[in-house]
Amino acid sequence: MLPFPPPPPAKMGFMMPMFRPWVPKRLQPWMYVVTVFCVQFTSGIYLGALDAIRGTTDFMIEDLLMLLYAGLAGMAIYFPLLFRMKFRFTNQQLLCGAAISIGLCNLITMHTTSMPLLLVVCFVAGMAKIQGTFECMSNIQLWITPRRDFAVFFPVLHIVLLTAIEGSGLLAAWFAHHFTWQMMHIFTVGTMSFILLTQLTLCRPFCPMPQRLPLRGIDFLSGLLISLLMLMVSYIMVYGDYRMWLSSRNLRLLLGVSIFLTGVILHRLSHVSNPYISLRIFSYRNVLPILFVTAMGELLLGCEHTLEEILYTEVHGLEELTKERLMIWALPGVYAGVVISLLWLKVKQWKVWKLFGIGFGCILCYALLMYSTIDMQVNIEQYRLAIVLRGCAYAILASTLMWSLHESIHDLEEFFMGLFIFNIFHMYLAGAAGFGIYTTLFSHYLNDDIARYGNQLTLSRISDFSGFSDFMPQYIHSMMAVALKQVYGIVVWVSGFMTLGFFLLDIPAVRSGTRKMPYWPVFGIEMLSRMRPLYMKSWPWTGRKE
């Protein structure tokens, strides 16, 4: 028996056998589009309502970010299980199970402030979110691209993903502004009820496998250990600046446990017959460079969650709804980036070196605009072009990197394992590490600037200030703006080098005309062979004349 069912005959066209016969065929794929948007608008914790949640609870910003990364960890760890679950359960079971799980998680989030419980709840919500998204998108994939062309599918997929990310933040901020932050969770429960209603009335149980694949043989223990490691690393990165990094005994202990657990996981993955993640993935061509580019892109784009948050909240004092209305300007850039990716990968079918250069070039322009615009007196509308460029860069790099990973890993099961590793770098580790790095750099520059400029505030000058209490807040805000400029300056340099590197790689003389550096013994033997005729002439016993 074949491991996967054969594709339907070409004359049958696109079909969705999970719908009941009386449902119009033209309406069927659009019902799944609505469903996937409902699923993607969900989360365990919503970024758009962070200020409102902090105002009614005793959570710090680090606590809420930890919950956010717990949800991302749940999404990442579930990737290797997606196909096994699809071939074990029916579409109705998977979507109803995802909707019920997300609804229950949102109900729990509204009524508890227990951090351990919320970590588990957000982790489960992330798993259910990726399960519902995959089930919907896998069923309409042939409707999006009848030839299953991933140069088309991945850019279209990122239209859904990035629209939902920006839209859910704006919607959560709107609910928190006009009602309470709990209203977003109630709205999510309502959308999950809509999914349950449509699945029970419009669909019937359908599984693409005539004979269900069992879940036996999955290395669940390795998956559990990897999940624990991801949460530990995110804790270190998120709370690093708050707890003074290695000055904290708890962080030092947690770092040692993380290193030991990493060794245990690698030993288990290399010795188990059917590992949760095959280490052979790292031996595929271009996988390691793809992961490096992914980490660098995500680190540079981490400015959105750290530096921009400080700028809009602390320097300009914007409320959450105003801030989210400004951030929604990333969507025009996202759609422009998707169009560029489609034109490059599908229509022109050019190599991706220069496309990566364009993506990092957009990050460079974004950082330059932010560096030159940041000021206490600037109109916030002047940040719109920079936000558009950031959205364009994110769409180009995310869709192109995912397509490049698919081109490097041809085995379907290993490709989803590769997606797990890709998403660890893409939306989890690099994001958490970026938060830790940027907060540390900002704190360093802010303290240094206050110390340097504070030398000018002598007692004689202070005595001249009649409104000293009004002066100090402006002074602190101006120092924060200067510190932000300094951090953005580092982003400018790094993104500039990345852009220049990718454009140089696209030059044939640089890409293929450069000789590869050999091993040192080989290099020494070659140098010895070239130098031998020269020193043989100078030896007197050779019998040769000078």
Range of the domain at 307: 284-453+473-507
With cut-offs at 50, 70 and 90, classify the pLDDT of residue 537. Answer: low
pLDDT at 212 over 70: yes
Sign, CA dihedral 54-59-62-66, equals negative
Same domain, 178 and 290: no
The answer as to whether 227 is a domain residue is no
The answer to whether 43 and 157 have CB atoms below 8 angstroms apart is: no
Cα 35 from Cα 196, distance rounded (Å): 10
Q: List pLDDT tens digits, range 317-367.
A: 888 889 999 999 999 999 999 999 998 888 888 888 889 999 999 999 999
Same domain, 36 and 182: yes
The pLDDT, as a whole number, for residue 534 is 52
The pLDDT, as a whole number, for residue 131 is 93
Same domain, 73 and 152: yes
Q: What angle do CA 129, 131, 135 make, to 5 degrees?
A: 120
Residue 104 tokens, joined: 């229950």
Identify the residue whose tokens are 């893409």. 426
The answer to whether 288 and 409 have CB atoms below 8 angstroms apart is: no
The answer as to whether 527 is a domain residue is no
With cut-offs at 50, 70 and 90, classify the pLDDT of residue 459. Answer: low
Same domain, 193 and 299: no
Same domain, 156 and 71: yes
The 3 state secondary structure assigned to 175-186 is HHHHCCCHHHHH
Residue 100 tokens, joined: 């019920």
Residue 226 tokens, joined: 């990897």
Same domain, 395 and 501: yes
Cα 517 from Cα 97, distance rounded (Å): 54
With cut-offs at 50, 70 and 90, classify the pLDDT of residue 386. Answer: very high
Q: Which amino acid is at 350?
A: W
Q: Which amino acid is at 306?
A: T
Residue where a domain terminates, one of 192, 218, 244: 218
Residue where a domain terminates, one of 218, 237, 256: 218
Cα 396 from Cα 408, distance rounded (Å): 18
The answer as to whether 133 is a domain residue is yes
Q: CA-CA-CA-CA torsion for 119, 122, 126, 127, nearest 10 degrees? A: 70
Q: List pLDDT tens digits, range 170-180.
A: 999 999 989 98
DSSP reduced 3-state for 483? helix
Same domain, 298 and 432: yes
Q: Which of 142-156, 284-298, 461-475, 487-501 reaches the highest mean pLDDT?
A: 487-501
Q: How many domains does the chain have?
A: 2
This prediction's pTM: 0.86
The answer as to whether 168 is a domain residue is yes
Side-chain half-sphere CA neighbours of 155 within 13 A: 22
Same domain, 160 and 305: no
Same domain, 206 and 304: no
Going by C-alpha positions, the residue among 292, 420, 321 that lies closest to residue 49 is 321
The answer as to whether 465 is a domain residue is no
Same domain, 338 and 428: yes
What CATH number is associated with residue 196?
A: 1.20.1250.20
Same domain, 200 and 288: no
The answer as to whether 494 is a domain residue is yes
On the 0-12 / 13-18 / 19+ scale of CB atoms within 10 A, 286 is middle
pLDDT at 196 over 70: yes
Q: What is the mean pLDDT of residues 285-290?
A: 87
Residue where a domain terminates, one of 171, 193, 218: 218
The answer to whether 451 and 476 have CB atoms below 8 angstroms apart is: no
The pLDDT, as a whole number, for residue 29 is 92
Phi (first) and psi of residue 163, to 5 degrees: -65, -40
Out of 23-37, 128-142, 425-439, 490-504, least confident range: 425-439
The answer as to whether 353 is a domain residue is yes
The pLDDT, as a whole number, for residue 141 is 87
The answer as to whether 22 is a domain residue is yes
26-41 burial code (b ≥16 CB/10 A, e <16)? eebbebbeebbbbbbb
Q: For residue 242, what are the contacts with CB-CB under 8 A and spacing of at least 6?
A: 60, 62
Cα Rg, the chain, nearest whole Å:
27
Cα 521 from Cα 477, distance rounded (Å): 58
Q: List pLDDT tens digits, range 105-123.
A: 999 998 888 899 999 999 9
